[in-house]
Amino acid sequence: AQKITQTQPGMFVQEKEAVTLDCTYDTSDQSYGLFWYKQPSSGEMIFLIYQGSYDEQNATEGRYSLNFQKARKSANLVISASQLGDSAMYFCAMRDRVGGFKTIFGAGTRLFVKA
Amino acid sequence: DGGITQSPKYLFRKEGQNVTLSCEQNLNHDAMYWYRQDPGQGLRLIYYSQIVNDFQKGDIAEGYSVSREKKESFPLTVTSAQKNPTAFYLCASSKQTTGGRTGELFFGEGSRLTVL
């Protein structure tokens, strides 16, 4: 069955340092997509980064990169040079054919950036 | 500007009442989704629709109903059968109903429902 696991309910990071948010997934499909979304306290969901299962290189989008380890079924988000505005909830999500191309989400990690 | 509009932003309901949350998109997206979010938790899928006049149940459809009569609109009704409806509801859309980056979800700002 499809499943997304985020084991870190909360994380602290010092401003300007890098932080890694963990995500593991489970699917029987060979073709799938992994997404990370950010949810500030205002509630809206913001797309950050995408990784396809057949992509050979790790995805990067500005200060965000995705550490994709297919054999371990992990898709960790790395935020470099943290900023105060990065304080938010972060959700890992997956979408695959087996699941009918609907997106499922992990429980999320709340990131606190300290000045 | 293209986007997704949810209304109302805040809604209060008495027990036993049905309420309808509106979701409209002008992105010309085929697929639309409703998620529920409880405090400190992830998003759970209520219903989704990949084409007009068709929709499927998600993981927690009991007590909810939807319709998809127009491509742009996907309203969610929270019925009195939903035992614990107080939550934050998010509507989303995606360009494609298949895989790839086009599966990225675009979200509305959410509707916060409180049962009194």
Three-class SS string for A68-92?
Answer: EECCCCEEEEEECCCCHHHCEEEEE
Q: How far apart are CA B107 and CA B41, in angstroms?
A: 17
Q: Residue B1: what pLDDT? A: 67
- Look at B99 and A96 and tell me if their CB atoms are within 8 Å: yes
Which pLDDT tens digit goes with each residue over B65-81? 999 999 999 999 999 88
* Min Cα–Cα distance to chain B from A79, Å: 20
Predicted pLDDT of residue B99: 67
Which residue is closest to B96 within chain A, CA to CA? A101
The pLDDT, as a whole number, for residue B2 is 74
Question: CA triplet A63, A57, B30: central angle to 5 degrees?
Answer: 80
Of the partner residues A33, A45, A110, the one whose CB lies closest to the CB of residue B103: A33
**What percentage of chain A has pLDDT greater than the value 90?**
88
Two tokens, residue A11: 């994380």
Report pLDDT for B103.
82
Count of CB pairs separated by less than 8 Å, A with B: 72
Q: Report yes or no: B90 and B34 within 8 Å, Cβ to Cβ.
A: yes
**pLDDT level of residue A110 (50, 70, 90 thresholds):** very high
Name the 3-class secondary structure at A98.
coil
Phi, psi angle pair for A13, to nearest 5°: -145, 145
Residues in chain B with pLDDT < 70?
1, 97-99
Quick one: average pLDDT of A77-99?
94
Instruction: Answer whether B99 sits within 8 Å of A33, measured CB to CB.
Output: yes
